[in-house]
Amino acid sequence: MAHRGKVYVIDDDEAMRDSLDFLLGAADFHVTLFESAHKFLDSISTVDFGCVVSDVRMPGIDGIELLKRLKASRNVFPVVIMTGHGDVPLAVEAMKLGAADFLEKPFEDERIIGMIDVALREAASNAQGEAMTHDIAARIASLSPRERQVMDGLIAGLSNKLIARDYDISPRTIEVYRANVMTKMQAGSLSELVRLAIRAGVLKD
């Protein structure tokens, strides 16, 4: 049972596809082969998260165009680009377009296995971080206008009295709003509220 992760190999060279299928399968990855980027893109809505390993020079949609399309669709699949031409400028362009890494053919077995491991781990971590940021943003959006004003005052370091004076309401009322803010933001302390605000970009660290 493969447990290391899913890998999608895209290469128009059948021998290379078969070689990677054997190598990565033996390394405990679940491998799916595609003879063109076009076929992969047609299937992308039906496949699970995994690492894409693509040749850079292919007829039709090449590796660079593949990266452009994945980026345009905000797809989170990490991509490792293979090149057999020692084309450093092309590899650099691939990295600028979001490739997780690139390697030149021929390559050592352990090198590509290690790259895929790192790409999958980092992509999963980034996805978790992005999901958390969206969750925090949703918590902030759930605040009423007054609660948001109170939160802004709290993370600016103002006391209840100062916030009350700013909005001409009683400190006791501010305490109620403060409790609501802490509950809705799921913050157990002021320091945690500040960390959440930084994470959401409300407060610059």
Q: Residue 1: its pLDDT value, please?
A: 46
91 plus 152 within the same structural domain: no
Distance of CA 114 to the CA centre of its chain: 19
For residues 93 and 155, state if they share a domain.
Answer: no
**Are 66 and 41 contacting, i.e. CB atoms less than 8 angstroms apart?**
yes
* Residue 154 sits in the same domain as residue 64: no
The residues pairing with 6 across neighbouring beta strands, listed in sequence order, are 30
pLDDT at 204: 60
Where residue 27 sits, what CATH number does that domain have? 3.40.50.2300
pLDDT of 22? 95
Q: How far apart are CA 100 and CA 80, in angstroms?
A: 6
Cα angle, residue 152 at apex, residues 149 and 154 outer, rounded to 5°: 110
Q: Are 98 and 76 in contact (CB under 8 A)?
A: no
Strand spans (E) along 69-157: 79-83, 101-104
Radius of gyration in angstroms for the set of CA atoms belonging to the chain, rounded to a whole number: 24
**In terms of domains, do 118 and 159 share one?**
no
Averaged over successive runs of 10 residues, the pLDDT of the chain (205 residues) comes to 82 93 94 94 90 91 92 87 77 86 87 93 82 90 95 91 93 95 93 87 69
* One domain for residues 62 and 124: yes
Distance between CA atoms of residues 123 and 79, nearest Å: 10
**Structure-derived torsion over alpha carbons of residues 159, 162, 168, 169, reported in degrees to the nearest 10:** 20
Q: Are residues 118 and 78 in the same domain?
A: yes
